[in-house]
Amino acid sequence: MRLRSSPSRSRSRMVNVCTAEIQDSMDVAIVEGRIAYVGNAAHCVGEDTTVIDAAGAYIAPGFLGGHIHVESSMVGVGEYARAVIPHGTVGIYWDPHEIANVLGLEGVQAMLEDAKNTPLKAMVTTPSCVPAVPGFEDTGSVIGPDEIRESMTWDSVVELGEMMNFVGVVNGSDHAHGELAETLKADKVITGHYSVPEADRGLNAYAGSGVRCCHESTRAEDALDKMRLGMYAQLRHGSAWLDLPVLAKALTENKVDSRFANLVSDDLHPYTIVEEGHLDRILRVAVACGIPAVRAIQMVTINAATCFRMDRGLVDCTTFQFVPLEV
């Protein structure tokens, strides 16, 4: 199928997340699920071409949720997809540590089977801290380096879930370092959880261990410190944690580049999704906080994909890329 706007009317406005600009009068031609041409696509239209008139509309990449716990929404992946896709979300980086605490990797596999029946691209981050507090809680399973090694061979697993044991990482825990090592051996991304307001030796050691991103900033300076170390600051605005109005100041007041900033929801209650939206809701908050709209869209598209080293062929509206589009 090829997608372009009607030649008899003004064409669509494309949000180009590669260059942070809006391009007027753009057509997008799609062949076999891949973008084949961007520009005036009159020459791409033939007798069998499906043409969608997008005149006057904006075209942008679909949104990517960079840190999500589906179980917090109290539904399976199938119902979650039904709820969020209408809001423009096309992919999620999902840490199923709640189901893993009960059923281990078997539970994760069951949820992955559910995910196969949806158009949502559900990319799994293997839970790294099961149980979350060893010796304190009773869980149905334990995940360690061996389980991490196994899961890293699964097609749907793209990274290690949030390493909440930052104390263990900084102090040389064999268990924590074993999980990091297995992830790095598989050439996958390590995601973080650094929740203390310390940006010197501890944060440097944590970032140096290979952790790529962190959603636990609650002050603007926390987010800024992480970005300055090359760690993606995932600015969170969920149901319980409403951090974005504070965290946005890391960008708006310091005038720094936003390439190392993402927008994430973390935990979302069903009511929030139904009544307020998903990543589209967070985008509206970001713009209200002074982040330019196109920059905010970058933070749920190309920035998120780049964080997880999946930017080539996933989100950018450029030639020969596979990308779900929002109109």
Question: Which position has the token pair 């196109």?
Answer: 294
Mean pLDDT for the chain? 90
Question: Which position has the token pair 């149901």?
Answer: 239
pLDDT more than 90, % of the chain:
75
- Residue 93 three-state SS: strand
More confident residue, 9 or 265: 265
Question: What pLDDT shows up at residue 326?
Answer: 65
Instruction: Determine how many CB atoms are found less than 10 A away from the CB of residue 186.
Output: 18
Question: What pLDDT shows up at residue 140?
Answer: 87
Question: What pLDDT shows up at residue 11?
Answer: 77
Mean pLDDT for 178-189 is 98
pLDDT digits (tens, 9 = 90+) for 69-112: 999 999 999 999 999 999 999 999 999 999 999 999 999 999 99
Mean pLDDT for 292-315 is 89
- H-helix segments, 186-243: 201-208, 220-228
268 φ/ψ sector (left φ>0, alpha ψ -120 to 50, else beta): beta
Question: Omega of the bond prior to 131 within 30 degrees of 0, cis?
Answer: yes
pLDDT greater than 90 at residue 278: yes
Judge whether 36 and 30 are in contact, CB under 8 Å. yes
Mean pLDDT for 189-200 is 94
User: Which residues, at least 6 apart from 159, have a Cβ–Cβ distance to it below 8 Å?
Assistant: 93, 123, 125, 126, 183, 188, 189, 190, 191, 212, 308
pLDDT digits (tens, 9 = 90+) for 214-229: 999 999 999 999 999 9
Confidence of residue 313 (pLDDT cuts 50, 70, 90): low
d(CA 159, CA 207): 16
User: Which residues, at least 6 apart from 280, have a Cβ–Cβ distance to it below 8 Å?
Assistant: 63, 87, 88, 89
pTM summary value: 0.92
For the chain, which domains are there? 12-60+317-326 (no CATH), 62-291 (3.20.20.140)
d(CA 63, CA 303): 11
